[in-house]
A = this chain, B = another copy of it.
Amino acid sequence: MEWIFLGTGAGVPSLDRNTSSTALRFTETGGNIWLFDCGEGTQHQILESPVRLSRVDRIFITHLHGDHIFGLPGVLGSRSFHGVTTPLTLYGPKGLTEFVEINLRTSGTHLRYPLMIEEVEDGKVFDCAGFLVTVGKLEHGLPSYGYRIEEPDSPGELLVEKLRREGVPSGPHFGKLKRGEEVVLADGRRLRGKDYLGPIKRGRRVAFLGDTRPVERGVELAQDVDCLVHEGSFADGCEDHAHRYFHSTSRQAAEVARGAGAKRLILNHISSRYRTTDIEELMAQACEVFPYVDVAFDHSMFSVERPV
């Protein structure tokens, strides 16, 4: 899977960074895409990215601030305009349904595909196409959520070489062994699946957190993840400002990553006060706390590989 950052700014668009949106593309399983947040101009950013609206089948909204949702009506409408008929599900805070309905109704937008909207709350856990999604409430003035996504573990591979060495003929019992079952061969030998399977492959775990002060719930959501996306709106020295406006500094984001035992941190939602040269500073401050840090720019892509 890979993150494709479409908008990495905060509050308002600038010439450098658009308002918030990030795609998670499931490269190994057909290339379907989940979006996280949908600021104004997300569909414009998509035009210049590998993302296709036809592949987007879920959109997760972290919170209802304008820089995270004002692009949603346009994405919904254009997905239909381009002839997509496959279903789409939205997840987000209470109020999302009314927002979407009024926008579609006012604009006379009739979608050609089924649209489902699920309003979430703290502690909700649900299955999304085999992935386990956990919702946690953060601290941002208005309800803001983080999403933890867990890929299921995969059973180990069938040790075909070992079976061949032991003279086991191939046949339907290979499938049973692969599923971990017990089989009895024609010559009377009894084989247990678990003896012929490689190690279980742990699924990937990622967390995408909405705007927030650094909070314990964020640490919980990011526990042992392979990749955490956390806002790092501000630099050292802006702690008071960040606290007042319910945001985090890059160092605070790194403290969350360290506390959670995350493997990697991607800083997102960067204030437009920081230009390219200041970004190294934001990064350096985070790296003093946690070594595996990247800063996302618009159109940055980061792949998340299966842990070995």
A residues near B (Cβ < 8 Å) are 11-15, 18-19, 40-41, 43-44, 47-48, 64-66, 69-71, 73-74, 77-78, 81-82, 95, 98-99, 102-103, 106-109, 141-142
Residues of B within 8 A of A19 (CB): 74
Which residues does chain B contribute within 8 Å of A74, judged by CB atoms? 13, 19, 40, 66, 70
Nearest B residue to A43 by beta-carbon distance? B13
Whether the Cβ atoms of B106 and A12 lie closer than 8 Å is: no
- For A41, the chain B residues whose CB sits under 8 A away are 40-41, 44
Q: Tell me the smallest distance from the CB of A96 to a CB of chain B, in Å.
A: 8
In whole angstroms, what is the CA distance A223 to B149 when docked? 61
Task: Tell me the complex Cα distance, A107–B70, Å.
Answer: 9
Q: Give Cα A41–Cα B108 distance, bound, in whole angstroms.
A: 19
* Shortest beta-carbon distance from A235 to chain B in Å: 20
- Please, which residues of chain B bring their CB within 8 A of the CB of A77? 12, 66, 70
Residues of B within 8 A of A65 (CB): 107-108
**Chain B residues, CB < 8 A from A142:** 108
Task: Say yes or no: A66 contacts B73, CB within 8 Å.
Answer: yes
- Bound together, the chains give a CA A65 to CA B70 distance in angstroms of 15
Chain B residues contacting A44 (CB-CB under 8 Å) are: 13, 18, 40-41, 44
Contact of A47 among B13, B40, B102, B109 (CB under 8 A): B13
